[in-house]
Amino acid sequence: MNKKTAHILWFKEINKNDIPLVGGKGANLGEMVKAGIPVPDGFVVTAKAYYDFINSTSIKKKIMTEMSGLDVEDSDKLVKAAERVRLAILQAEMPKELIEEIKTYYNELSGESDKYVAVRSSATAEDLPEASFAGQQESYLEIKGWKSVATHVQKCWASLFTARAIFYRNENKFSHLKVGIAVPVQLMCQSDASGIMFTVNPVTNNDEEISIEAAFGLGQPVVSGEITPDQYVVSKKTGKITSRTIVPQDWQLTMEGKTPISKKYKKAQKMTNKQIVELAKIGMQIEKHYGRPQDIEYGVEKGKIKIVQSRPVTTLIQKTKNLAVEEGKGSKVLFEGLAASPGVFSGKVQIVKSPKEISKVKEDDILVAEMTNPDYVPAMKRAGAIVTDLGGRTSHAAIVSRELGVPAIVGTLNATKMLSSGEIITVDGASGKVYEGDITVVVEETKRSKIDLSKIKTATKIYVNLAEPELASEMAARNTDGIGLLRAEFIIANIGTHPKKFIKDGKKKEFINKLAEGLEKFADAFNPRPVVYRFTDFKSNEYANLKGGAEFESDEPNPMIGYRGVSRYIKDIDVFEMELEAIKIVRNKKGLKNLWVMMPFVRTVKELEEVKKIVSASGLRRSGTFKFWMMVEIPSNVILLDDFIDVGIDGVSIGTNDLTMLTLGVDRDNEKVADIYSEMNPAVLASLEKIVTTCKKRDVTCSVCGQAPSVFPELVEMMVDWGMTSVSISPDVIEKTREIVYEAEKKVLNRKKEGSGKKSSSSKKTSAVKKKAIKKTSSSKSKKKK
């Protein structure tokens, strides 16, 4: 049989070399079947079938006509052209021979009675094996009957021409006629229990352990974070279960939808010990086959384990966990910058001058650019390390690098001039140094915490700061209590057009829906854990960079303390109301009541009063499920905190970045004065103490947002003692911060247990810690200057 001419192939006939024909999903399923992994059976309608379909009908001509001269920057024209092509594909008649083949294969797959299948899209391009089309096409679940399968295969073909997919191909200069689509059709696992298995512990990065999550019913709620699953850990060496955490479950997802779980099973273990051990063995088999740790989705149907999907684990510190810099022996420091994201990595330099060049960055290259913006994110995900000329540790490059767990150095001033593409360098993201050549060494794994960080809970909530929607599900699977800072700016930057241009063009709904889509990804992934959305805090110069921005923004001498935050909402009420509408869609229409809001840069008490009136008028009012927070990041917030609280807020989040900058009068993104910037400065510490103690006294929750808690353990101990209720940090330091908080809480608790007669010892201890921390910080600064 010549596979290249086949319209349909069984999984067992497919291997990893067939990606151009069956796509990545199909090839992966075929590989697992050949390796003897228990995969639900199925077949793939190949890309050849799609190409023959468009060539045998008028579709090819229609595609060429619609795509010729299309201005993809004109969103109206793009959407309409996409709709016309999809409609043409759906209305065209599928070749009868192919329909008969689908009928034959489906009937053989189902047996005596029709069975439910999943019909998924898998775009592929024969001449572009490195191209990624993930998430651009449609997939359909619970499809039954051969006619319905054939219909949904055609729907998958049509999804190759969504506006987003057309835009992506156009931007990357891929021919619309050379990109095809394969459609895997797979029996659905009617799971009694299901979940996710990692063949490396994703929290501790212990590669000697297998981590398994399990819940009753279908696995979608586990993946999305709607259900907190059981957690099982299995030792690879002994094959024995080393720990079990059983979590009560009230409902499960079945083919009938959400169904309640009987009282008898609510607190039951989701899998038997025998099934857990068997699943772990399968996990090790899959890992051995692929030669790297795997993230595996599985189901248990009538006692039998089925593997639905397997993909490589992308742990946050996978690339750098065993590397260190070997100083001496001729190691040469080329230059230094600001340490932005920890880790050590060595690789080939790829200088990128604009987003149009991001395709130059291959897997594990070192991305070097003047600065980054959201358009760089696809390349940043591939990069082994990131170095920029400009920016501080709260710049786009720094924030995204920490979210991705990639070592990064920013504010080097001239990395793009000192380095050349192809040059080998070593990046130390913790020290801010760039070295000539590869001077990395593999080191013994550092001493692990005695605490299982995947299980411990702390009285102080550990929230995460997030900006990239694509990371929401991955972060939701980790030991966090929610999102304490959801940055609006990245979602809006991805939309790409100034909000006022949408209003001017009569497209308010388009902006609102796009923003709501972005917010929904975060709220859905973390539900029921809170997601605190910080309203847009773009500065005028950042707004000006959006499409149409120059028309609506004027130059400001100092945008950092200019037209931003609540001041803008009150004056640009039409833009602010679009954000409020997006929030209402997510909370009311989508039913995600875990989405809360937070006001940034509130300069005066009157501003807070006015903006609250606007929010209330929109129909969003404080309640048990809707919390209204305020950022405390301006000295006026500290001085008049009681007055701000009197207006009516549920919580504050201390923005340590802006508060430190404005207290010390330091531009945090200016490399020349960066050494003065420190959260441990006595003036900043005095402000932090006042904020936390005031909030505790007024019974208002108090969160701390920024890098400070993970950088200064001494600060955490002080703030826990003062009464901090939560901390929100970047993903790369979740476990580290959880442990710091855990240890700090233990110390504070032990001191309090000493008795009321020694109550003053707690404040004395805090004072001593403060003095020691200040001295330590001052000492390190002076050493830096020398």
pLDDT above 80 (res 170): no
Q: 485: part of which helix (H) or strand (E)?
A: strand 483-487
Least confident of 422-426, 611-615, 666-670, 737-741: 666-670
Q: Among 429, 426, 423, which residue's Cα sits nearest to residue 410?
A: 429
Contact in structure between 655 and 633 (CB atoms under 8 Å)? yes
- Extract the tokens encoding 176: 């619309």
**Residue whose tokens read 């999943």:** 118
Residues that are catalytic: 396, 705
711 confidence band (pLDDT: 50, 70, 90): low
Side chain identity at residue 97, one-letter code: E
Least confident of 300-314, 349-363, 480-494, 750-764: 750-764
pLDDT of residue 760: 45
Distance, in Å, from the CA atom of 601 to the CA atom of 631, rounded to the nearest integer, reads: 7
- Extract the tokens encoding 118: 């999943």
Highest mean pLDDT among 109-118, 552-561, 637-646: 637-646
- Extract the tokens encoding 626: 């809707």
Distance, in Å, from the CA atom of 141 to the CA atom of 187, rounded to the nearest integer, reads: 10
Cα–Cα distances in angstroms (integers) from residue 74 to residues 81, 84, 181, 443, in the given order: 11, 16, 26, 53
A 10 A CB-CB count for 426 gives 25
Distance, in Å, from the CA atom of 32 to the CA atom of 294, rounded to the nearest integer, reads: 12
Residues 145-170 have a mean pLDDT of 88
Q: Among 524, 514, 537, 513, which residue's Cα sits nearest to residue 595?
A: 524
The whole-chain average pLDDT of the chain stands at 84
What is the largest distance, in Å, between two alpha-carbon atoms of the chain? 90
The one-character DSSP state at 733 is G
- Extract the tokens encoding 136: 């651009």
Secondary structure tally for the chain: helices H, strands E:
29, 32
Distance, in Å, from the CA atom of 175 to the CA atom of 178, rounded to the nearest integer, reads: 5
Cα–Cα distances in angstroms (integers) from residue 669 to residues 256, 340, 392, 624, 632, in the given order: 54, 12, 4, 39, 20
Q: Among 289, 187, 203, which residue's Cα sits nearest to residue 245?
A: 203
Distance, in Å, from the CA atom of 530 to the CA atom of 528, rounded to the nearest integer, reads: 6
Q: Among 502, 726, 693, 508, which residue's Cα sits nearest to residue 598?
A: 726
Q: Which residue has the higher pLDDT, 366 or 443?
A: 366
- Extract the tokens encoding 130: 């490195």
Coil, strand or helix at 287: helix
Least confident of 440-449, 618-627, 710-719: 440-449
Determine the Cα angle at 598 with ends 594 and 600, to 5°: 160
What is the end-to-end Cα distance of the chain in Å, rounded?
Answer: 73
Alpha helices, H only, 464-571:
472-476, 488-495, 499-504, 508-526, 540-544, 549-552, 566-571
**Residue whose tokens read 């089925």:** 306
pLDDT of 495-548, one tens digit each? 889 999 999 999 999 999 999 999 999 999 999 999 999 999 877 877 887 888
Contacts of 681-686 with C-beta under 8 Å, sequence gap 24+, read 681/774, 681/777, 682/774, 684/656, 684/659, 684/660, 685/715, 685/718, 685/770, 685/773, 685/774
pLDDT of 73-87, one tens digit each? 776 788 888 899 999
Give the total residue count for the chain.
786
Distance, in Å, from the CA atom of 512 to the CA atom of 580, rounded to the nearest integer, reads: 9
Coil, strand or helix at 663: helix
Strand pairing report for 408-410 and 338-341:
antiparallel
A 10 A CB-CB count for 741 gives 27
Peptide bond connecting 528 to the previous residue in cis, omega within 30 degrees of 0: yes
Distance, in Å, from the CA atom of 650 to the CA atom of 699, rounded to the nearest integer, reads: 9
pLDDT above 50 (res 781): no
Least confident of 344-348, 432-436, 511-515, 703-707: 703-707
- Extract the tokens encoding 269: 């273990």
Strand pairing report for 179-187 and 209-216:
unpaired
- Phi, psi (rounded to 5 degrees) for 207: -85, 5
pLDDT of 194-219, one tens digit each? 988 989 875 445 688 898 989 999 88
DSSP states along 701-747: EEEEESSHHHH-HHHHHHHHHHT--EEEE-GGGHHHHHHHHHHHHHH
pTM above 0.85, yes or no: no
Share of the chain above pLDDT 70, in %: 86
Distance, in Å, from the CA atom of 86 to the CA atom of 81, rounded to the nearest integer, reads: 9
**Residue whose tokens read 């006629």:** 177
**Per-residue 3-state assignment (H helix, E strand, C coil) for 191-228:** CCEEEEEECCCCCCCCCCEEEEEEEEECCHHHHHCCCC
Contact in structure between 637 and 662 (CB atoms under 8 Å)? no
Burial 497-526 (b: 16+ CB within 10 A, else e): bbbbbbbeeebbebbbebbbbbbbbbbbbb
pLDDT of residue 520: 93
Coil, strand or helix at 141: strand
Q: Among 653, 640, 579, 564, which residue's Cα sits nearest to residue 609?
A: 640
Where in 276-343 does DSSP place strands (E)?
Answer: 294-301, 304-312, 323-325, 333-336, 338-341
pLDDT of residue 116: 92
Side chain identity at residue 137, one-letter code: Q
Distance, in Å, from the CA atom of 309 to the CA atom of 322, rounded to the nearest integer, reads: 28
- Extract the tokens encoding 5: 């001419």
The one-character DSSP state at 497 is B
Compute and round to an integer the Cα radius of gyration of the chain: 27
Least confident of 697-701, 720-724, 771-775: 771-775
Determine the Cα angle at 111 with ends 109 and 115, to 5°: 70
pLDDT of residue 87: 94
Q: Which residue has the higher pLDDT, 490 or 567?
A: 567
Distance, in Å, from the CA atom of 409 to the CA atom of 390, rounded to the nearest integer, reads: 10
